[in-house]
Amino acid sequence: MLELKNVSKRYGKSGSHALNDINLKVDQGEFIGLLGQNGAGKSTLINILAGNVKKDRGSVRIGGYDLDENELETKKLIGIVPQEISLDFVFSVNEVMKNQSGYFGIKNNHKYIDELLKDLSLIDRKHDKTRILSGGMKRRLLIAKALVHKPALLILDEPTAGVDIELRHSLYSFLERLRDEGITIILTTHYLEEAEKLCDRIVVLNHGRIIADDSKSNLMDTLGTGTSMEFHFSNDLYAEDISFLSEYSPSIKDGNKISIFAQKNDIGEIFYKMNKEDMKFTNFTLEPRKLEDVFLQMVRQ
């Protein structure tokens, strides 16, 4: 569905690479999380696919079409939900959808527009001007707008920013349904629990390079082993109080909590050492490592 070969982009002759020799292949029906800190190159990559930014070198193919040679065909295959809210506020929700349909030469698709608006909880606001919509409603309208021409590839750039928790979870269900229907989805998000919940494959960008590209399960099996442990005490703690745990790099939080990340086979030894030192805690928690922990480890390395 999507293939990038040796794609690079530099802003200015002396500027650093926003993208540096990117190679990426995405098959039809995949749900990919594209992760990276601010400035990692995610927006540049999306803007290249959208045709808003010209790459310096390399090739991009979407649905078998070369992006440079078949721009019209590639635009029909791709739907992009931008991070910035870009709507003409003089139009109603329904007019926005009809105008976007006309951009792709689609007529008489009122039924499909209503289906999209219903799925995205916007059907009751169909005739409202977009300027009076909340931020979350505007973001959902951008998703509906990107889907009106039934693209094979959907790219979502921070789609749930400003969306409340209840609607965020309804969006998750909607995106999972799109994936089940065979639509290829690329999601960028700063809510890493979204990527952990929704995506089958994770691609991590850092300083314009891909530093990880693997299935979520493989990444978690390789880098996600271990457990986060937190012990609560009734009294304040000091560095010398936990020096006996130094091999596990413990840290003190909020004055009276010990935070440790340890491998599972070390848990028993940690409890043994704390008992030996007569460290009586009032509460403790154990949590498996999350995608956020794995992401931070990769970026720091």
User: Which domains are present in the chain?
Assistant: 2-213 (3.40.50.300), 224-300 (3.30.70.980)
Lowest pLDDT segment from 13-27, 86-100, 166-180, 222-236 = 222-236
Asked whether 154 and 186 are in contact (CB, 8 A), the reply is: yes
Q: How much is the pLDDT for 67?
A: 92
Asked whether 184 and 28 are in contact (CB, 8 A), the reply is: yes
Does the pTM exceed 0.85?
Answer: no
Lowest pLDDT segment from 140-144, 151-155, 192-196 = 192-196
- Whether 1 shows a pLDDT value over 80: the answer reads yes
Residue position matching structure tokens 């959907």: 154
pLDDT, tens only, 59-85: 999 999 999 999 889 999 999 998 888
Measured from the Cβ of residue 113, the count of other Cβ atoms closer than 10 Å reads: 22
Rounded to a whole number of angstroms, the distance between the first and last alpha carbons of the chain is 31
- Whether 25 shows a pLDDT value over 90: the answer reads yes
Q: How confident is the model at residue 187 (pLDDT cuts 50, 70, 90)?
A: very high
Higher pLDDT, 88 or 187: 187
Closest CA to 5 of 74, 67, 73: 67
Distance CA 10, CA 23 (A): 16
- Whether 290 shows a pLDDT value over 80: the answer reads no
Residue 43 makes CB contacts below 8 A (sequence gap 6+) with 83, 157
